[in-house]
């Protein structure tokens, strides 16, 4: 079984889309104690070489967007515990410059997700997101794999109407990563978890071998040969709570039902103002 976890912020303040460093570390240790094997998304490519055992449980940690708190709070924990992870980066946000000093990191203005998103989408996103130098150091550690999460993460992603704009944005993101980090980019993570069948095939034709969604679920190791992969959003819970919560995705019928309901939510844009949407919200889907 392969379970891909989705994180956004690792931060000492309790915010939406955030996990505290204490809980993040506790989650990793609890998964390790349960015998999970940590892999990066590029190791998922090994599926073709049949190197992943069908009997083992694998975990891939992914971070979306490229927030500065990932550098300040998540990376030290990954290094300490020697855990691989993947960062899906919005390439329009990082700036050029030296790494932030320890003192700067200790005095970060810890904001919630909405405020950080506003800064990231402003003319000067630097206060909310990582710099290229910091991303490079994460990558050079050998632990963090960098992949694409679009260039702008902007308005065009909300309604998905402009296929060409979106495709150009993704193509640009791939080029930026290849230019700044000199890497091959084969994985793409959909901003806001939204996509259309047309966009999926366009992205494949750009050379992306695997695409990541926010649809909930785990994957059987021998059935990973699908284009859109599911992930599980991790909230600010303890390690034991996470281990317990993951179990339900390992039962196929239940996992299948969760995936179907989540697909419905995305396809029909069911937010909590609709009746079905509010039920799905209550079910945490």
Q: Which stretch binds Zn ion (CB under 5 A): 61-69, 98-106, 237-245, 262-270?
A: 61-69
Q: Which stretch binds Zn ion (CB under 5 A): 191-199, 203-211, 223-231, 273-281?
A: 191-199
Verify binding: residue 64, Zn ion, rule CB under 5 A. Answer: yes
Cα distances (Å, whole numbers) of residue 233 to 230, 237, 281: 10, 11, 14
For the bound state, the minimum distance from the C-beta of residue 113 to Zn ion, rounded and expressed in Å, comes to 10
Verify binding: residue 26, Zn ion, rule CB under 5 A. Answer: no
Q: Which stretch binds Zn ion (CB under 5 A): 57-65, 94-102, 130-138, 172-180?
A: 57-65
User: With contact defined as beta carbons under 8 Å apart, do 60 and 39 qualify?
Assistant: yes
Closest CA to 193 of 152, 235, 147, 230: 230
Number of residues that bind Zn ion (CB under 5 A): 3
For the bound state, the minimum distance from the C-beta of residue 190 to Zn ion, rounded and expressed in Å, comes to 9
d(CA 52, CA 222): 8
Q: Return the C-alpha torsion angle 154, 268, 279, 158, nearest 10.
A: 10
Verify binding: residue 69, Zn ion, rule CB under 5 A. Answer: no
The full DSSP string for 18-72 is EE-HHHHHHHHHHHHHTT-EE--HHHHGGGGGT-S-TTS-EEEEEEEE-BHHIII
Nearer of residues 84 and 193 to Zn ion, judged by Cβ: 193
Q: Which stretch binds Zn ion (CB under 5 A): 63-71, 180-188, 261-269, 274-282?
A: 63-71
36, 40, 42, 65: which one binds Zn ion (CB under 5 A) = 65
Q: Which residues bind Zn ion (CB under 5 A)?
A: 64-65, 191
């Amino acid at each position: 079984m392969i379970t891909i976890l989705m994180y956004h912020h690792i931060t000492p303040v309790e915010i939406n889309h955030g996990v505290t460093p204490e809980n993040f570390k506790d989650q990793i240790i609890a998964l390790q104690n349960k015998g999970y094997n940590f892999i990066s998304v590029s190791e998922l490519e090994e599926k073709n070489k049949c190197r992943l055992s069908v009997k083992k449980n694998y975990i891939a940690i992914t971070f979306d967007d490229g927030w500065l708190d990932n550098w300040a709070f998540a990376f030290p924990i990954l290094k300490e515990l020697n855990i691989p992870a993947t960062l899906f980066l919005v390439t329009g946000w990082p700036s050029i410059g030296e790494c932030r000093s320890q003192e700067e990191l200790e005095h970060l203005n810890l904001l919630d997700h909405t405020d950080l998103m506003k800064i990231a989408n402003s003319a000067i996103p630097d206060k909310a997101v990582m710099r290229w130098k910091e991303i490079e150091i994460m990558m050079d550690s050998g632990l963090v794999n960098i992949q694409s999460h679009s260039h702008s993460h902007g308005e065009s992603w909300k309604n998905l109407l402009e296929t060409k704009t979106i495709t150009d944005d993704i193509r640009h993101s791939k080029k930026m990563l290849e230019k700044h980090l000199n890497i091959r980019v084969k994985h793409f993570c959909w901003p806001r978890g939204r996509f259309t069948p047309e966009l999926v095939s366009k992205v494949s034709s750009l050379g992306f071998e695997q695409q990541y969604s926010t649809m909930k679920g785990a994957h059987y190791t021998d059935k990973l040969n699908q284009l859109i992969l599911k992930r599980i959003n991790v909230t600010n819970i303890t390690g034991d709570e996470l281990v317990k919560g993951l179990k339900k995705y390992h039962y196929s019928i239940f996992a299948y039902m969760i995936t179907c309901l989540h697909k419905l939510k995305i396809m029909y844009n069911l937010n909590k103002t609709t009746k079905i949407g509010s039920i799905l919200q209550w079910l945490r889907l």
